[in-house]
Amino acid sequence: MKGKNTIIIFSIVMLSFGWGQLMSDLPSLERPETMHLNLNRSEGLSLFDSERFDMNHGFSMSMMSYGGLSFSVGSYTNQMTYWINNNLRIDSDITLYQPMMNNPMAMNQTLNASLVYNTTLTYRPTENSIISFSIGNNPYTAQRHYSPFQLRAF
């Protein structure tokens, strides 16, 4: 029995060393270029050029079950970015979500729809500095980004 335990422990240790050797094959953990603030996009464009404006839409539906009750959330998100000039941009995120609860004891199973928004003005005075002002309405979380799974309905 002691010999089997020794073989098992030795095998686990050797496999972990082998796995550690494969870790060197992982890609670099440097930030991708898309995460860097690139405000030079608007060079040479007029103020009303469509190249200065980006808009993304998203729709999501989520459902969870807790103690025999089901709770679902449907949300629509609109994210907009406008480059005012080479080193100044404004970002806006607007989310409209509608929670629903399936409770046989409750008469009103639809909870109030909510609107969550964040607006950020970003200024880059030099290559290595960024100044950012942000205004937001995020009623359920302290974080800047909204997650419908962090509702406090129960």
Residue 90 burial (C-beta neighbours within 10 Å; 0-12, 13-18, 19+) = middle
In a domain, 7, yes or no: no
In a domain, 6, yes or no: no
In a domain, 112, yes or no: yes
In a domain, 98, yes or no: yes
Nearest-angstrom CA–CA distance, 118 and 93: 5
From the list 132, 126, 151, the residue with the least C-alpha distance to 66 is: 151
Residue span of the structural domain in which 38 resides: 29-147
Q: How many domains does the chain have?
A: 1
Average pLDDT in the chain = 73
- Report helix, strand or coil for 72: strand
Position 152 scores a pLDDT of 43
Position 1 scores a pLDDT of 65
Q: Evaluate whether 79 touches 91 at the Cβ level (below 8 Å).
A: yes
In a domain, 152, yes or no: no
Q: Evaluate whether 144 touches 134 at the Cβ level (below 8 Å).
A: yes
Q: Which tens digits make up the pLDDT trace of 27-59?
A: 665 544 444 455 455 455 576 778 888 999 999
- For 12, the token pair is 């686990």
In a domain, 122, yes or no: yes
